[in-house]
Amino acid sequence: MDLDAVRTFVAAADAGQFQDAAAALSITQQAVSKRIAALEKDLQVRLFTRTPRGAQLTVDGQAFLPHARELLRVEARADASVRPGRRALRVDVHSRRTAPAVLLQDFHRAYPRIDLDVVTLDADVHAATAAVEAGTVDATFHAVTVPARRLPGAIRTARVIDERHELLVGPRHALAAARAVTPAQLAEHRIWMPGMAVGTEWSDYYDELAAAFGLTIDRIGPVFGNEALLAEIADSPTLATLAGERTRYLWPDSYDLRRIPVRDPAPIYPMSLIWRADNPHPALPKLRDHLAARRGTPRRAGVAAEMGPLTVSGVLCQLADRAYQPVAARRLAGHVRHHHTWRQHMRRFVYAVMHDVNGNVLIARKNVRGTSSARRTPSPRGSSSTASPSTGAG
C-alpha cells in the first residue's frame, strides 16, 4: 500500500476539501485526486463522495480512516527506530550485574535525555563484535583479545574499564576477617567458578591468572544461578569465588558474605568499548567521552597507569625476586637481560607486567619502600626468552 496515498487520504478527510489537503501537503490538487483514485483502485472501494461543499467520506472511507491513521503512526515509529538521533542507543553489556552495566547506568544519570536500549547478548567477543559490525547493536563491552589489525576494518575499540577483583567468601572461611588478600594467599584456597564456558575470553583470562599465581580455579558443578552460588559460599568454610569490584550481588543479611579486595598486585580484567567507526548515532561519542573520563588512572600497587589497550591477560605477574617469574613475564625477560640493573630491580621492586596489542611491554612498578612509577618499554624484536613459569608464590 502506498503510504503517500494513505497520508493524502487522511489529510483530505481532515480538511474536507481536496484543495485544502493539497495546500497542507504542498502538492497540487490534481496530485491529491490522483493519489486518492489510486488508493480507491487498490482497495476496490470508494472512499469519498464529491459534493458542492467538498469531499465527504463514504461508509468505507469512515471504516478505513482509523486504520489509515494507525498506518501513519506505525510508519513514524518505524522511521524513528532506525534514524540516528531519534532511536535509542543500543548497547550490549553481556550481564546487567557487571561493571559495563554499572557504568552505563552512570551514563544514563549524566545524560537522562539520551534514550538507551540496554541488551545482554549471550556472546563472546567475536560474536559480539560481529553483532556490532552487522548493526545489531551500536556498541558492546568485551576484553579485546586480538591486535587491532586483525579486527574488521570498520571496528574501533577503546579500553574503558580496568576491573579489579574481589574475593567473595562466607563468614566461616579462613580469609573472612581479612581486609585485603594477595594472589599468593589465594593460592592456598579453592576458588569456585562453576559453568565458565571454555574458549571464551574470560575463561582464557582466568586460565592465565591461575597459571601465573598458582591458583586453583574449580569449574566443576552444574549452574543453578547466582542465588544458589551465593548460598553455597555462605554455608561453606572452604568455598570462595572471584567477582569484579563493581559487580552487583544481593543476598540475605543472614548470609553475612564478605567482599575482600585482591591487592599487591591487583590483577585487573581490562574491558573495551567496541563500536563501528561509521556509526552516525550522535549519542555514541558522548558515551565514549563519558567512559574515558570515568576510567581515570589507577594508582594502587601493581596496577598500570593509563596505557594502551591490553591483552586479555591483564596484570598477571608479580616479580618480587629471581625465583618467581610467571607466565606473562616471558616476553619481558628477553628485554631485561640487556639491563645491568636487572638483578637489583628484581630485588627492589614489585612489578606488574602487561602487554598491549602492539606487543609493547607495559610495566607498573612499586618501590618496596613505597614510591611508585610506571613506564612503557618497547618489546624487543626477535628476542627469545628462557624464563620458565613458576607456580610458587612471589
Q: Is the pLDDT confidence value at 390 over 70?
A: no
- The pLDDT of 342-351, averaged and rounded, is 31
Contact call for residues 362 and 307 (beta carbons, < 8 A): yes
CA-to-CA distance for 47 and 36, rounded, in angstroms? 8
- The pLDDT of 312-336, averaged and rounded, is 33
Query: pLDDT higher for 82 or 257?
Result: 257
- What confidence tens digit (pLDDT) does each residue in 132-147 have? 999 999 999 999 878 8
Q: Place 338 in a pLDDT band, splitting at 50, 70 and 90.
A: very low
Predicted pLDDT at 203: 86
Contact call for residues 336 and 383 (beta carbons, < 8 A): no
Q: What is the 3-state secondary structure (H, E, C) of the chain?
A: CCHHHHHHHHHHHHHCCHHHHHHHHCCCHHHHHHHHHHHHHHHCCCCEEEECCEEEECHHHHHHHHHHHHHHHHHHHHHHHHCCCCCCEEEECCCCCCHHHHHHHHHHHHCCCCCEEEECCCCCHHHHHHHHHHCCCCEEEECCCCCHHHCCCCEEEEEEEEEEEEEEECCCCCCCCCCCECHHHHCCCEEECCCCCCCCHHHHHHHHHHHHHCCEEECCCCCCCHHHHHHHHHHCCCCEEEEECCCCCCCCHHHCCEEEEECCCCCEEEEEEEEECCCCCCHHHHHHHHHHHHHCCCCCCCCCCCCCCECCCCCCCCCCCCCCCCHHHHHHHHHHCCCCCHHHHHHHEEEEEEEECCCCEEEEEEECCCCEEEEEECCCCCCCCCCCCCCCCC
Written out in words, the top-level CATH class of the domain with range 3-82 is mainly alpha
Query: pLDDT higher for 61 or 349?
Result: 61
The mean predicted confidence, pLDDT, of the chain is 77
Q: Is the pLDDT confidence value at 391 over 50?
A: no
Q: Place 209 in a pLDDT band, splitting at 50, 70 and 90.
A: confident
Predicted pLDDT at 9: 93
Q: Is the pLDDT confidence value at 348 over 50?
A: no
Predicted pLDDT at 316: 35
CA dihedral 361, 364, 365, 370 (to 10 degrees): 170
Q: Place 51 in a pLDDT band, splitting at 50, 70 and 90.
A: confident
Q: Which long-range contacts (CB under 8 A, 24 or more apart) does 18-26 make?
A: 18/54, 18/55
